[in-house]
Amino acid sequence: MQLLQCPSSPSLSLCCSKVQPNRGLCFAANSLTASTTSSYIQQQWLRSSRWVSRNPPVANSSAAKAASVEESPSAVSAQTAESDVLKALSQIIDPDFGTDIVACGFVKDLLIDEALGEVSFRLELTTPACPIKDMFEQQANEVVANLHWVKNVKVTMSAQPAKPVFTGQLPLGLQTISNIIAVSSCKGGVGKSTVAVNLAYTLAGMGARVGIFDADVYGPSLPTMVSPENRLLEMNPEKRSIIPTDYLGVKLVSFGFTGQGRAIMRGPMVSGVINQLLTTTEWGELDYLVIDMPPGTGDIQLTLCQVVPLTAAVIVTTPQKLAFIDVAKGVRMFSKLKVPCVAVVENMCHFDADGKRYYPFGRGSGSQVVQQFGIPHLFDLPIRPTLSASGDSGMPEVVADPQGEVARTFQDLGVCVVQQCAKIRQQVSTAVTYDKVIKAIKVKVPVSDEEFFLHPATVRRNDRSAQSVDEWTGEQKLQYSDVPEDIEPEEIRPMGNYAVSIVWPDGFSQIAPYDQLQTIERLVGVPARS
């Protein structure tokens, strides 16, 4: 028996991982002191919120296996066995990226016993909330079991440690969070907090480790919408950090849990409070941190977007034209800060009565946002008394009624967020790479089909930092001859969605925004490489 390491591509990171069995959710539900009815509702949510893949499994080829030429297990060499298994697994394609799971580096710890015909391996995926994780596990079992010499297959599902694409210079509390999602409307009263809380609990129901940060200091909503046993944040005196409270396995932080009610303070003080609450909290490992953004596009919102490496934003609106005008400002703000908006939620769209559907606030605001700004996904939420009542009762609607129409809409939204975040992470992690064979920097700007090559020396000479250009006079301090023609980068790593950090042999770390890279003189006639 030998341990065979599968070839992996660490730069590709897709959307799936194992289900974390009720990760803390059962404990939270059992520890509540609510009524018997409330406990029953929570247990039903825990059972029903597990995702079952609706994708068809890989076709069973047992007949072909039986018809194949029989070969003694002892005749299968270790090299042939490994090749057979990896070839079989490469049939499984991730539907979002069109790439097989072997090329994505999902297959780990491949262990083969040729004599006994036993194969075991681990699928290490990157988010526990992938909606097709069950399909991956089923297909992996099937395709390997169909090899004529295989008698027993063991597939283990696992997850990579939670971490952002770029960890450098991040506050300690944010260095173990994979994705940070901003839920924003830029207008009060449209149901933004309702969407944020229900999205967070939907992601938790899909198996992810989730936290919610209520960034509205003037009017915190989280203490009303959830019912944790401990309604006060605690401090860790040794680390001088904040310990979040918890409800149904989701970590919670809000100014409303500080025991001071609502804030009465000026903008700069509010920005400082938000920064402290967010960055000094012991979030632990999270797959998703959902930020309930305050209304508006002022200092507080800009501070959050600049301090926090936001992965994506979800926009909440209502059908009225006035809501669209304010939401458009928020979309433009995120666009300038290079934060992709992945979905629009149009709340309070319609209600059904007497067999008809009514639209009391008109129609078209959400679709107008989608069309004008190119946001790919639109979700409609109906007017439901239960949705409002669940927010007031302290139990999110997706927990109270996990099989209802509202919960199904949030499940679709959750799948969208998971898939879009995975695409963004993959695009960012592979946006700028160095090809050692052709000695060129390859650039593929995120959210763009444009791909081009740059000469490393040209990139280094175009640095615009204070070390290379005098800030007062604009005089070029870095001279052309200072950079050797054969210089090669030692490391390239992403910095959020807007730039990369390039480390050169002299120790200099160059920050290169994508916008700048697109203006640099490009290499032409570079041979294509697969």
Name the DSSP letter for residue 476.
B
- Given phi > 0 = left and psi -120 to 50 = alpha, else beta, which region is 149? alpha
Determine how β-strand 152-159 pairs with β-strand 234-236.
unpaired
Helix (H) or strand (E) holding 109: strand 107-113
Q: Are the C-beta atoms of 451 and 442 separated by less than 8 Å? A: yes
What's the pTM value of the predicted model, to 2 decimals?
A: 0.74
**Rounded to an integer, what distance in angstroms lies between the CA atom of residue 71 and that of residue 94?**
32
The DSSP output letter for 237 is: T
Apex 506 CA angle, 505 and 508, nearest 5: 100
**181 phi, psi to nearest 5 deg:** -110, 125
Task: Count how many residues are written for the chain.
Answer: 530
What are the backbone angles phi and psi of residue 151, rounded to the nearest 5°?
-110, -25
pLDDT by residue for the chain (530 residues), tens only, comes to 444 444 443 333 334 433 343 333 333 333 333 444 444 445 555 544 544 333 444 444 444 444 443 444 445 678 888 999 999 999 998 776 678 888 888 899 999 998 899 999 998 886 777 777 888 899 999 999 999 899 999 998 887 766 776 655 678 888 889 999 999 987 777 889 999 999 999 999 998 999 999 988 888 889 999 999 998 898 888 888 999 999 999 999 998 898 776 655 565 677 788 888 898 999 999 999 999 998 876 677 777 777 788 899 999 988 887 777 878 888 888 888 788 899 999 999 888 888 898 888 888 777 888 888 888 788 999 988 888 888 888 899 999 999 998 999 999 999 999 988 888 887 777 778 899 989 999 998 766 667 899 999 999 999 988 888 887 888 889 998 999 999 999 988 877 667 788 999 988 889 888 888 889 999 887 766 65
Element containing residue 351 per DSSP (H, E): strand 351-353
Contacting residues for 420 by C-beta, under 8 A, at least 6 apart: 312, 340, 342, 343, 376, 377
